[in-house]
């Protein structure tokens, strides 16, 4: 059976892409095929006549099978601003994302869909990431950026996922600072406050070593 997860974060720049790629490597280590999808991305550059995003290119490079960039990232916007602003002239259409996701399902056992920004960040003028996850019918994996304020952000986001009627299959602690005071204590506090299981801690790295990051993760029990 083809399955997938929606990867969201407590904010933008909390390590969602690294977490998604690390999970892709974990599934591959377990013998499964996996592809990544980033339905909408802002801050793209023009390469060979096509707008591309560095995060989406990373997902493409780490997939089990070759997939066209346009299928991984159907909405690629030049401006590095919120998608509902960057995509004013070509807004995300939910049915097109659903169709693209279905095509990816036919190519691999797992599809990991990375959202843009935080859980309630807009993807077009009328919908946000929570609506996108709902439309795709996916359980959610929450990436928590471990920094000052992370306990509040994790609790609020977990509550918002539940309020949307979606299942949070687990969360990942993404360590954003080399020497954050009381880092372990913050992670423990989130564990105590959030019902979803901790799937792993992504240690601080200047450059990602996805093989080592994947080794410290576990996949949700719904696998």
Active site positions, annotated:
38
Measured in residues, the chain has a length of 223
Q: What are the φ and ψ backbone dihedral angles of 121, each rounded to 5 degrees?
A: -70, 135
**Residue-wise over 165-187: b if at least 16 C-beta within 10 A, else e?**
ebebbbbbbbbbeeeeeebeebb
62 and 23 in contact (C-beta within 8 Å)?
no
- The 3-state DSSP class for residue 186 equals helix
Q: What are the φ and ψ backbone dihedral angles of 143, each rounded to 5 degrees?
A: -100, 120
Neighbours of 216 (CB within 10 A): 14
Give the strand pairing for 75-76 and 40-41: parallel
Residue 63: enclosing H or E segment and its boundaries?
none
């Amino acid at each position: 059976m083809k399955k997938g997860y929606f990867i969201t974060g407590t904010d933008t720049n909390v390590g969602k892409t690294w977490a998604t790629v690390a999970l892709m490597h974990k599934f591959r280590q377990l013998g499964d095929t996996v592809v990544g999808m980033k339905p909408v991305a802002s801050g793209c550059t023009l390469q060979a006549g096509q707008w591309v995003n560095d995060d989406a290119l990373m997902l493409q490079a780490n997939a089990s099978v070759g997939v066209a960039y346009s299928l991984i990232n159907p909405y690629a916007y030049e401006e590095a601003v919120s998608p509902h602003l960057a995509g004013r002239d070509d807004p995300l259409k939910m049915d097109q994302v659903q169709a693209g996701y279905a095509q990816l399902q036919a190519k691999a056992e797992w599809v990991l869909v990375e959202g843009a920004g935080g859980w309630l960040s807009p993807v077009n003028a009328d919908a946000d990431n929570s609506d996108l996850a709902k439309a795709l019918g996916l359980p959610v994996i929450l990436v928590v950026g471990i920094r000052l304020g992370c306990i509040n952000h994790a609790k609020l986001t977990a509550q918002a996922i539940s309020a949307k009627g979606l299942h949070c299959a687990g969360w990942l602690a993404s360590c954003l600072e080399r020497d954050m005071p009381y880092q372990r204590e913050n992670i423990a506090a989130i564990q105590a406050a959030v019902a979803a299981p901790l799937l792993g801690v992504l240690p601080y790295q200047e450059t990602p070593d996805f093989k080592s990051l994947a080794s410290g993760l576990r996949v949700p029990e719904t696998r």
